[in-house]
Amino acid sequence: SLCAAGVPDLSYQQLKDLKKANVLHIDVRERWEIDRFGKIPESINIPLGELMEALQMDPTEFKEQYNQKMPSKSDPVVFSCLAGTRSKQALGFAMSLGFS
């Protein structure tokens, strides 16, 4: 299950369509889950426990750590996890930091 502020749940096809529009996709599963179940193409893995710190990093540090440009507070971002619980928490974290 995937979530975005305007659309609480997205289907896989909706995510594929959004990714064509340069939406940043952050997978908040743990690294062992990525190793076991696979990486979602073109997503970056930031485990939920690291997300608050990551979203407050210096942009240069973020790029070095995650090999991706740090999102601005107005950039479209989609969070995903295994069942939807952590992605909803991630959305709450991002919104509490001023992401729209």
**More confident of the two residues 23 and 87:** 87
* Confidence band of 8 (pLDDT split at 50, 70, 90): low
What gap in Å lies between CA 63 and CA 31, rounded to an integer? 18
| Residue labelled with tokens 């997300």 | 51
pLDDT exceeds cutoff 90 at 51? yes
pLDDT digits (tens, 9 = 90+) for 57-66: 999 999 999 9
What gap in Å lies between CA 36 and CA 53, rounded to an integer? 25
What gap in Å lies between CA 27 and CA 45, rounded to an integer? 5
The set of catalytic residues is 81
pLDDT exceeds cutoff 70 at 54? yes
What gap in Å lies between CA 45 and CA 42, rounded to an integer? 10
All structural domains of the chain: 12-97 (3.40.250.10)
pLDDT exceeds cutoff 60 at 39? yes
User: What local confidence, expressed as pLDDT, does residue 1 receive?
Assistant: 43
